Amino acid sequence: MSRRSRDANLAEKAKSLLLGRLAGQIDHSPHFLCPEGFKHEKNESKVKSAVPACKRIYDSIQKVFSNESSSLILTGIRGIGKSYLIDKVLKRLKDERRQFRLVRLNGCIQSDEVVAKVEIDRQLNEYTNSHPLIIILDEFENFATDKQHLLYNLFDSSTSFNMYGSAVFTIGITTRMNVIELLEKRVRSRFSHEQVHLERDIDNKGFLNKWNDAVKKSFTYGFVREYLQDLYYQQVDIREIVTFSDCCLRLMGYREFFDEDLLREVCSIYTLNSQNCLLQDLTTLELSILIAADRIYSLFVGEPFTFEMVFNEYKKFFSKHSSLEMFAKSVVLKSYEKLFDLEILTIADGSTVNNVPKEYHPMKLTVPHEDIERVVADLIDCPTEVKQWVNSLPTQ
Amino acid sequence: MDKHLSEDLTVCGREPQIKTLKSLLRRDIACCSNVFIFGSPGSGKTYTLDKFFNHYKIRRLLINCIELYNSRLIYEFIISTLTDTEKVSVKNENEFIHKLQTSLSDKEEAIYFVFDKADRLRSLEPRVLLNFIKLRELAECNISCVFVTQKLWQEFQTDLGLPRPILIRFPIYTKFELLAIMTEDVPDKCSPALYKTYCSLLFNIFHKACNNLMELRHQAVLNFPKFYQPILDGEATENQVGKLWKNVQGHLKEALRTLYLREISSSKWQRLQEHCLAEGKEVKIQSSKQSSSRVNAELPLFSKYLLIAAFIASHNSAKTDGRLFQKKSAKISKKRQLVGEKKKNERNSTWLLGPKTFTLNRLLDIFTFIVEENLESINLNTSIFNQITSLVSMGLLCQTNASDCIDNPRYKCLVNLSFLEGISKSIDFEVKKYLLDFIEIN
């Protein structure tokens, strides 16, 4: 085997290893998010509220070991590391050799109470002892629907003690801040009213320090910075950073390090403005219809329009410019329907389309005028008349 | 290593997408995030994916979200395909996750769930889409999902806050790529070069209205005999492209009128074409006439009059009825007044906003008037009411208030003008005389 191909094989192996590691981390946010053993180290904590939150949960859980049932709700936006935080606390409890039973439910999977109860039974059957019980309810808001028998039973200390033969500590995890308002009165009064909220507050410099030199260099590229900045301002999902790294690794090919080309490619995938993509793929006819619809929509601000109005506008323009080819009404209607199919046009809010011929369905436009203007200006094979039509002001 | 796998797959015009897919979707470890593939209809999404998975022998499960229209069907389909058993019952998500974990015995190799027409997933419970996006975390398996759709990712976002997948765009084919693909359909008798010229000519006519590969291919195959006829007849040779072109140009313009419509089946179109070729005439289709003549034969005379009366009632305002339906002598002098009224209401015209509702009484008044003016006096009896009901059940009229409202039901006319003109022509009735918007000042 030549040296080159052996190197390639090694690189491939290394890549698999890294990908595997990333894959393992997606379900529990990456290690740099939360401190080990809750110690606040300068460069490690990215979620500032994580340390006190960990402590509060840990302290709260202690009650269950002194045979006192209690409950807690953990809130925070998606991807901030709520489940991960819980895992940390549980791991610490295990390290301390505390004895407990654990049941995990997910509101999206155990979607009704009967299923949830069956699942609790199944998970409890794995234990033969009657140690204190910790129940974790992910997507908690889905349990707070209908009769809320399950929550009532869990929160009510005497009932839960009878049911499970030990003290029960219930942790609800949810993205909804107002979840307590969803609880019924009788359930709410039994809830321990302990709510822990995770807030995100990333320290950018510390984040960068974690990366090795090659990766560090990639952050000097303007477009990567721009992408990360956008991400930081707009989204707060740590998952995206993980998938971004995953995508970088996968697209690496046989490169040794992250380089500019690679990052440019990945960034272009991640920052793809898909809104314009749809418009770019339209035919001249479809664009003409869109422009006609846009003119009517902006003329009668926000009022719904019908196909007949759009066709009328289209006809008016095309009969003025004989050099352009005008299409039959039935063909125009088909193209109009394609726009509807692509959800560029949608049925106007609050109107029904039962018993209305399709030519008269009240529609509204979902793309802003500026987008249409930009896309038409960029098109190469669009007739000049149509290009001017976009910019001319609509009149009655 | 498998020799075959190291060979690269080529699909015309889709090379960059395949390159990205190849790096993202590996056989050993499934992609960390999901992949979202979008593009206009006829941009080769399904075809390319199909080729891709087959070529690189990557495990995948194709889920058609139109066939499997609710979450339970999807779950059962996935489990039954994975376990290779026919009848599986999966009642809920919980069971699905457990069965999925047990049925994926070969945990080493990645498996991809490909959702075709994934936009349909939005109409299911919101948690279904979230669960599939997070499937890898929930099931803790080597799984990843690929969503294929024509819609944008933004349209999938819900208030649950879905993690963003990796977006891959399939743009429409360029002219060059389209021609290369279309040339693969070349018939036996024809040379590829000539067929390519033909496709390019066809493209020039059609591209303003249509960039869908499927439709263009369909039109090309359908209209080819007409293009090739002079060569068969010995009137031209393959080199006289200009002559061939002149021959087919008008024909293609006619075909453009039926783009996407499929009003007559391909075989019918072919027969029509052969018939016209034999008689040396141009092919002409009057699309609107065709559909109305179909209904014509099946409607009794009074039903036709009823439909016309309903149409008039839907498109004129009730205020003008009194003046419009006076005896002939007084009518002409009133016309000027009516036209003034018409001008005022142009924006609110029923031609733009759609038909208005009318009461049964008004329908019967107009009906008796037009019948008496054109035929003879009639007695209204129950058979008339029966005919109204049958018009409603045929979908030509509809009742707008509750159907148990016997007192004074309201109706709306659902047919369009060209359809109605077909009907009125068949009974020699001039409908425009009674439509406010068509009355001209004499």
pLDDT digits (tens, 9 = 90+) for B201-233: 888 888 888 888 888 888 888 888 888 888 888
Decide if A37 is inside a domain. no
Contacts (Cβ under 8 Å, ≥6 apart) of B377: none
- Using alpha carbons, select from B417, B149, B148 the residue that is nearest to residue B308: B417
User: Does B147 have pLDDT greater than 90?
Assistant: yes
Look at A250-254, B160-164, B339-343 and tell me which has the smallest mean pLDDT.
Answer: B339-343
What is the Cα–Cα distance from B398 to B300, expressed in whole angstroms?
Answer: 19
Q: Is residue A295 part of a domain?
A: yes
Nearest to B127 among A19, A108, A283 (CB): A108
Fold (topology level) of B297-438: Arc Repressor Mutant, subunit A (1.10.10)
Residue of B nearest to A303 (CA): B353
Number of neighbours of residue B204 by Cβ within 10 angstroms: 11
R_g of chain A computed on alpha carbons: 29
Within-domain flag for A63: yes
Tell me how close the Cα of A222 comes to any Cα of chain B, in angstroms.
21
> Chain A residue closest to B43 (CA)?
A281
Q: From CA A175, how far away is CA A77, in angstroms rounded?
A: 5
CB-CB neighbors (< 8 A) of B131 in chain A = 108-109
Residues of each domain in chain B carrying CATH 1.10.10.10: 297-438
Q: Are residues A296 and A356 in the same domain?
A: yes
| Chain A contact for B344 (CB, 8 A cutoff) | no
Taking an 8 Å cut-off on Cβ atoms, the answer to whether B93 and A111 are in contact is: yes
Q: Where are the beta strands (DSSP E) in B79-120?
A: 111-116
* Length in residues, chain B: 442
- Are A266 and A167 in the same domain? no
> For B21, which residue in chain A has the nearest alpha carbon?
A251
In a domain, A40, yes or no: no
Whether A260 and A289 map to the same domain: the answer is: no
Rounded to 5°, angle at Cα B50 from B48 and B52: 65
Whether the Cβ atoms of residue A155 and residue A170 lie closer than 8 Å to each other:
yes
CA distance A13 to A253: 12
d(CA B190, CA B199) in angstroms, rounded, equals 13
- For residues A245 and A261, membership in a common domain is answered with yes
Are A267 and A287 within one domain?
no
Residues A184 and A58 in one domain: yes
| Band (B148; pLDDT cuts 50, 70, 90) | very high
CA-wise closest residue to B131 among A108, A345, A160 = A108
User: Do A138 and A87 fall into the same domain?
Assistant: yes
Q: Is residue A321 part of a domain?
A: yes
Tell me the CA distances in angstroms from A180 to A86, A160, A194, one per residue in order: 20, 20, 10
Same domain, A66 and A172: yes
Give me chain A's average pLDDT, please: 77
Which residues of chain A does B163 touch, with a Cβ-Cβ cutoff of 8 Å?
78-79, 237, 239-240, 243
Domain B3-170 homologous superfamily, CATH: P-loop containing nucleotide triphosphate hydrolases (3.40.50.300)
Q: Which long-range contacts (CB under 8 A, 24 or more apart) does B7-10 make?
A: B9/B51, B9/B52, B9/B55, B9/B56
Tokens 């690794």 belong to A249
Overall domain count for chain A: 3
Chain A residues within 8 A of B101 when measuring between CB atoms: none
Q: What is the mean pLDDT of chain B?
A: 79
pLDDT tens readout for residues A311-368: 888 888 888 877 777 888 888 888 898 888 888 888 887 777 777 788 888 888 888 8
User: What average pLDDT score do residues B47-72 get?
Assistant: 89
Check CB contact of A359 with chain B, cutoff 8 Å: yes
Beta bridge partners of A173: A74
The answer, for A121 touching chain B at a CB cutoff of 8 Å, is no
Element at A345 (helix H, strand E): strand A345-347
Distance CA A360, CA B353 (A): 6
Q: pLDDT tens digit string along A125-146?
A: 888 888 888 999 888 888 887 7
Range of the domain at A79: 47-197
Residue A306 inside a domain? The answer is yes
Residue after which a domain boundary falls, among A245, A272, A299: A272
CB A85 within 8 A of CB A34: yes
Q: What is the CATH number of the domain that holds A68?
A: 3.40.50.300
Quote the CA–CA distance of A62 and A81 in Å, as a whole number. Answer: 22
CB atoms within 10 A of CB B84: 7
Q: What integer pLDDT is reported at residue A214 of this predicted model?
A: 66
Question: With the CA atoms of B68, B70, B76 and B79 taken in that order, what torsion angle do they form, in degrees rounded to the nearest 10?
Answer: 80
Query: Does residue A41 lie in a domain region?
Result: no
Residue of B240, B239, B199, B200 whose CA lies nearest to B222 = B199
A378 is a domain residue: yes
Q: Which pair of tokens denotes residue A266?
A: 């990945």
Tell me which residue in A78, A109, A396 faces B161 most closely, judged by beta carbons: A78
One domain for residues A142 and A219: no
Nearest to B429 by CA among B304, B296, B338: B304
Contact (CB, 8 A) for A134 and A102: yes
For B317-355, the pLDDT digits (tens) are: 777 777 777 655 455 555 555 555 555 555 556 677 778
A112, A175, A269: residue with CB nearest B166: A269
By the CB < 8 Å criterion, does B357 face chain A? Answer: no
Looking at residue A289, which CATH number applies to its domain?
1.10.10
| Chain A: closest CA distance from residue B62 (Å) | 22
Partners of residue B40 in chain A, C-beta under 8 Å? 278, 281-282, 342
Q: Does B209 touch chain A (CB under 8 A)?
A: yes
CA distance B170 to chain A (A): 9
- To the nearest whole Å, the CA of B412 is away from the closest chain A CA by 8
- Put simply, the chain A residues between 63 and 92 with a CB less than 8 A from any chain B CB are 77-79
A348 in the same domain as A255: no
What stretch(es) of chain B map to CATH 3.40.50.300?
Answer: 3-170
Q: ipTM, 2 decimals?
A: 0.75
A54 and A18 housed in the same domain: no
| A70 close to A196: Cβ distance less than 8 angstroms | no
Burial class (CB in 10 A: 0-12, 13-18, 19+), A232: middle
